[in-house]
Amino acid sequence: MPEMTFLVRWPDGTEASCYSPSLVMHDYLTTGGVYPVDEFVSRSTEALGVASVRVAERYGFACTSALAQADEIRSAASAFAVGSVEILRMEPGLPA
């Protein structure tokens, strides 16, 4: 199962590298996309939940790294009442 990372810029300008055990993030976020904080949290945590389920289906156990990443995203987002999150990079990209 291919893993990926995605780099985000929070409303205060800080950047964070995030991890997903699945390329499913491409179904929820796009490179260069700008999302209101609450929408980013919703999209990314849903995608990470799907990724964890995919790991469970394949290996027989949930991906704790995906679940931890979702927790980190929710925690970081709690600092922002308003603003947007920009997706700076998603690696690897989608196959052509």
Predicted confidence (pLDDT) per residue in 2-29, tens digit: 789 999 999 999 999 999 999 999 999 9
Rounded CA-CA distance 67/65 in Å is 5
Q: Please tell me the pTM assigned to this model.
A: 0.91
Closest CA to 32 of 88, 85, 84: 88
Count of residues in the chain:
96
Under 8 Å between Cβ of 48 and 22? no
**Per-residue pLDDT tens for 43-63?**
999 999 999 999 899 989 888
